[in-house]
């Protein structure tokens, strides 16, 4: 859905060249509102439990898609706190933050993904309403996929194979 009216003064928006790109903007000089269409910040968790990685299926995904726990960064929230919160909300357990894997652009969804490595304690996983299921994949069978979170998995696996701590840059 494309914006049609300025959210500040309600005038119809026009397209203008600003910052090297064509953008929707308010034509009223006294207002000057611009739709910059900045990407949304997302946190992703590569959740390790023993010698397995937990992958989840979100209700909005096809049934055969499995991925990392993800969620939007809330206003004023620290990304490290956000990723721990997301894992607790979606899996029902408080995970230990190991560290940052990396930051990845996901232009198809207009997102920037900050991917972290977390360790999940023993205990029963209790999925929230956003997920249809989870599966524990042995680390040696884990394969990356083509997307921002898949690139995070690839980086984590490469560091692991190289003998470096998986969360070190």
CA dist 12 and 26 (Å) reads 7
Average pLDDT over residues 144-157: 95
Say if 168 falls within a structural domain.
Answer: no
Say if 46 falls within a structural domain.
Answer: yes
Q: Do 94 and 33 share a structural domain?
A: no
Q: Do 95 and 15 share a structural domain?
A: no
Average pLDDT over residues 152-162: 95
Residues ≥6 apart with Cβ < 8 Å to 14: 24, 25, 26, 27
Report the pLDDT value the prediction gives residue 70, as an integer from 0 to 100: 97
- The domain tally of the chain equals 2
Is pLDDT of 169 > 60? Answer: no
Say if 99 falls within a structural domain.
Answer: yes
Is pLDDT of 167 > 60? Answer: no
Q: Do 71 and 134 share a structural domain?
A: yes
Q: Do 157 and 86 share a structural domain?
A: yes
Q: Do 148 and 81 share a structural domain?
A: yes
Q: Do 136 and 63 share a structural domain?
A: yes
Say if 65 falls within a structural domain.
Answer: yes
Say if 136 falls within a structural domain.
Answer: yes
Is pLDDT of 164 > 80? Answer: no
Say if 108 falls within a structural domain.
Answer: yes
Structural domain for 98, as ranges: 40-161
Q: Three-state secondary structure along 147-163? A: CHHHHHHHHHHHHHHCC
Average pLDDT over residues 108-123: 95
Q: Do 157 and 80 share a structural domain?
A: yes
Report the pLDDT value the prediction gives residue 165, as an integer from 0 to 100: 58
Report the pLDDT value the prediction gives residue 148, as an integer from 0 to 100: 86
Q: CB of 58 within 8 A of CB of 130?
A: yes
Q: Do 86 and 71 share a structural domain?
A: yes
Report the pLDDT value the prediction gives residue 147, as an integer from 0 to 100: 86
Is pLDDT of 163 > 90? Answer: no
**Structure confidence by residue, pLDDT tens digits, 37-55:** 889 999 999 999 999 999 9
Q: Do 51 and 113 share a structural domain?
A: yes
Q: Do 17 and 84 share a structural domain?
A: no
Mean per-residue pLDDT of the chain: 93
Q: What CATH number does residue 65 fall under?
A: 3.90.79.10
Say if 169 falls within a structural domain.
Answer: no
Q: Do 63 and 7 share a structural domain?
A: no
Is pLDDT of 67 > 50? Answer: yes
Global pTM value: 0.84
Helix residue ranges, H only, the chain: 79-91, 148-161
Report the pLDDT value the prediction gives residue 27, as an integer from 0 to 100: 95
Say if 149 falls within a structural domain.
Answer: yes
Q: Do 128 and 98 share a structural domain?
A: yes
């Amino acid at each position: 859905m494309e914006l049609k009216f300025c959210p500040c003064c309600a005038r119809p928006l026009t397209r203008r060249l600003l910052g090297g790109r064509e953008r929707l903007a308010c034509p009223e000089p006294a207002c000057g509102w611009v739709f910059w269409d900045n990407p949304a910040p997302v946190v992703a968790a590569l959740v390790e439990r023993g010698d397995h990685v937990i992958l989840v299926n979100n209700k909005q995904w096809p049934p055969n898609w499995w991925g990392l726990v993800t969620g939007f960064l809330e206003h004023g929230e620290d990304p490290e706190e956000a990723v721990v919160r997301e894992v607790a909300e979606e899996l029902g357990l408080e995970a230990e933050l190991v560290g940052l894997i990396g930051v990845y652009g996901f232009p198809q969804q207009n997102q920037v993904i900050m991917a972290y490595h977390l360790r999940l304690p023993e205990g029963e996983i209790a999925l929230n309403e956003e997920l249809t299921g989870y599966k524990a994949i042995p680390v040696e069978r884990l394969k990356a996929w083509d997307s921002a979170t898949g690139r995070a998995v690839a980086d984590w696996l490469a560091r692991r194979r190289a003998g470096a701590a998986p969360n070190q840059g």
